[in-house]
Amino acid sequence: CLGNIKERGKAVNAYISVEDRDYLQQQASEAQTRWLKGQSKSVLDGVPIAIKDNICTERMKTTCGSKMLQDFQSPYDATVIKLLRKAGALIIAKANMDQFGMGSANVYSHFGHVNNPQNTDGHFHLSMESLPSHKRSAGGSSGGSAAAVASDLCFAALGSDTGGSVRLPASYCGVVGFKPSYGRISRRGLVAYANSLDTIGILTKDVADVELLYGILSKYDNQDPTSMLPDLRERIEQEFAQHYDDLDQDSLKGIRIGIPQEYRVQELNESIVNIWEAGIRQLKELGAEIVPISLPHTQYALPAYYILALAEASSNLARFDGMRYGYSDDNQESDLLYADTRTEGFGSEVKRRIMMGTFVLSSGLYEEHFLPAQKLRRLVQQDFNDVFSLPNPLLENAVADLNNMKKVHAILTPSAISTAPSINSSIPEADNPKHHSKIKAVDAFVNDVMTVPASLAGIPAITVPGGVSRVDGWPVGLQLLSQYGDERTLLHIANQFQ
C-alpha cells in the first residue's frame, strides 16, 4: 500500500495524512511475527485500513476536510479505532472528504478534490494531470475512502454515512460500501454532522471483507448514548432466528426482493435503469423471487433529509467558535473572534448549510419546515415497515409476516442516478464564478435521492458494484436495503449477488 501511495497517491488525492512509514513498518513486522507464531490478534492483524478524516485518531490529525480543524489533534481514539487497533489493524492514513461530511462529489474539501481512480476501461487513471477536464468525481463525502480502496492504497476504509456518503462514492468508484443500522457501530469519536442520521460505514472490494470488519466493529458502546443496547442486539438474533435458520447458504431460494416503483425517478439515467434490470435478472437466477412494491413517501425523503440534516448541522457546528478547539482567527485588531473564525475557517458549502439549517429552525419557520420534515421522516420509516416481512424490532407489537408473499426480505434499487459526474460539473457557480458553471449548490442534492430514504429510516444498506454504463463505461452500484437490525439477511444476499 505504501508503494501504491507513493506511485499514485498524489494523482488520486485520497489522503490528507499518511502514517509515519517507520511506525507502520514496525507494526507490520510485529503483526507478521504474531502470524508466524500462530498468535495473530484477528483476521485483520497487520491489515492496512484507511480512516475518513472525521473519525478521531490519537495519531495523525483529524481535520474533517476543513481549514477549521486543519491542525486539530484529537486527544483520544474513536471507539472504532480502538476496536481496530485491538484487532491488530494498521491505521495507514486519514482519508480526504467533503468538509464535515457535507457534499456528494468531494469537491468541498479544503485539501483539494478527490479524483476518481477508475478509468473507462476499468484501469486506474494514472495520468490524470494530463486530462484535467475529464477528471471525474470520486463521490462524497467519503470520496477519499472509496478512491483509496479502489486504487489499492489500503485494504479497506471506514467512512461515515449520514445520507449516503459511503454508498454514493462506492457506486462511483466501483467498490462495496456498507452502512449499518443506526446505532450498530459506535459513533463515539465521529465528529457529528447530523447526529440522528450519522453512521460509520465500511468500504471494501467485496462483501466478505465487509463482514470481517463488521464483525469487529459491531459492538455495544456504553460511551455512545445512541448505541444499540445489548438486549436489543440479542432480541433481534432471537426474534429473527427462525428466518436465519431458513437461509440457504448457496442460493437465494426463499428470499423475496422488492423493487420499489417510486425509485424510477425522472432524473435516473436510462443506462442505470438497464443495470438495475440486469441486477433483477441476476437475483432471479440466484433463486430469489422478485416482488413489485410501493414506498409511497419516497419523493418526500430528499427534502425532509435536507431540512433535518442541515438543522442538526447548524446546531452541531456551533462548537467551532475559535475558543475551544480548532482554527482561531488571531487578528488582534478585530473584536469579532467568533465571526472571523467561522468566516475564514468554514468552507463555502458548510456556511451555506449552517445558514439554511438556522433558517429552518428559526421561530415561525420551525413549524413550517422542521416539524413537517420530522413527520415525513416517520412516513418514510413507515413505508419500509409496511413492506418488510421481518418486524421492526424497535416497534412494540410488531409481528413477523414471514409467509406473506407480498412482503419482502430486502429491496433492490440503484445507488445513484448516474455514473460519476465530472469534477468541473460538480463545482457550483457560487464557488467558481470564472468557470461559468450553471450549477447551483442545491442541484447537487439530487444525487442523494437513492440513498437518503434508508438514512431517514435508520435501516442497513449496501452498495455493490452493479456493472458499467453502456453510455460511458463507468461503474455504477446497486443498493440493497433490509429491515432495521437485519444486517445478516442483507449481507447474505449481497454476498451472493456481488
Nearest distance from residue 168's CB to ligand GLN, in Å? 7
Binding of ligand GLN by 164 (CB under 6 A)? yes
Binding of ligand GLN by 139 (CB under 6 A)? no
Nearest distance from residue 186's CB to ligand GLN, in Å? 17
Q: Which residues pair with 445 in a beta bridge?
A: none
Applying CB under 6 A, the span of 64-72, 109-117, 158-166, 470-478 interacting with ligand GLN comes to 158-166
Distances (CA, A) of 74 to 54, 86, 103, 248, 283: 10, 19, 24, 45, 45
Q: Which residues contact 35 (CB under 8 A, 6 or more apart)?
A: 45, 46
Q: Is the dihedral of CA 200, 201, 204, 206 positive or negative?
A: positive
Applying CB under 6 A, the span of 97-105, 112-120, 251-259, 290-298 interacting with ligand GLN comes to 97-105
Instruction: Answer yes or no: 251 catalytic.
Output: no
User: Toward ligand GLN, which CB reaches closer, 99 or 151?
Assistant: 99
Binding of ligand GLN by 165 (CB under 6 A)? yes
Binding of ligand GLN by 174 (CB under 6 A)? no
Binding of ligand GLN by 137 (CB under 6 A)? no
Nearest distance from residue 242's CB to ligand GLN, in Å? 34
Backbone angles phi, psi at 291, to 5 degrees: -125, 120
Nearest distance from residue 165's CB to ligand GLN, in Å? 3
Applying CB under 6 A, the span of 45-53, 156-164, 276-284, 379-387 interacting with ligand GLN comes to 156-164
Nearest distance from residue 98's CB to ligand GLN, in Å? 7
User: Toward ligand GLN, which CB reaches closer, 62 or 496?
Assistant: 62
Single residue of 19, 77, 161, 487 touching ligand GLN by CB under 6 A: 161
Binding of ligand GLN by 193 (CB under 6 A)? yes
Binding of ligand GLN by 458 (CB under 6 A)? no
User: Toward ligand GLN, which CB reaches closer, 162 or 483?
Assistant: 162
Question: Which of 11, 492, 16, 10 is closest to 257 using CA atoms?
Answer: 492
Nearest distance from residue 169's CB to ligand GLN, in Å? 10
d(CA 306, CA 7): 39
Binding of ligand GLN by 54 (CB under 6 A)? no
User: Toward ligand GLN, which CB reaches closer, 24 or 350?
Assistant: 350
Binding of ligand GLN by 163 (CB under 6 A)? yes
Binding of ligand GLN by 77 (CB under 6 A)? no
Instruction: Answer yes or no: 165 catalytic.
Output: yes
User: Toward ligand GLN, which CB reaches closer, 252 or 452?
Assistant: 452
58 in Cβ contact with 80 (< 8 Å): no
Q: How many residues bind ligand GLN (CB under 6 A)?
A: 14
User: Toward ligand GLN, which CB reaches closer, 164 or 391?
Assistant: 164
Q: Tell me which amino acid residue 125 is.
A: H
Catalytic residue among 74, 160, 165, 469: 165
Binding of ligand GLN by 101 (CB under 6 A)? yes
Nearest distance from residue 164's CB to ligand GLN, in Å? 5
Binding of ligand GLN by 103 (CB under 6 A)? yes
Single residue of 79, 109, 115, 141 touching ligand GLN by CB under 6 A: 141
Residue with cell 440479542: 234
Determine whether 223 is exposed, middle or buried from the number of CB atoms within 10 Å of its CB (0-12, 13-18, 19+): exposed
Distances (CA, A) of 246 to 11, 252, 357: 48, 10, 46
Catalytic residue among 52, 94, 179, 407: 52
Range 357-416, binding ligand GLN (CB under 6 A): none
Residues 303-322: x/- map of binding to ligand GLN (CB under 6 A)? Answer: ------x-------------
Question: Which of 256, 289, 253, 15 is closest to 152 using CA atoms?
Answer: 15
Nearest distance from residue 166's CB to ligand GLN, in Å? 7
Pairing between β-strand 90-95 and β-strand 48-52 as defined by DSSP bridges: parallel
Nearest distance from residue 204's CB to ligand GLN, in Å? 18
CA torsion angle 75 76 78 84 (round to 10): 130
User: Toward ligand GLN, which CB reaches closer, 302 or 468?
Assistant: 302
Catalytic residue among 141, 181, 186, 455: 141
| Residue with nearest beta carbon to ligand GLN | 165
b/e string for 252-282 if b means 16 or more Cβ within 10 A?
beebbbbbbebbeeeebbebbebbbeebbeb
Summarize as ranges the residues that interact with ligand GLN (CB under 6 A).
101-104, 141, 160-165, 193, 309, 448
Report, as residue numbers or ranges, the catalytic residues: 52, 141, 165
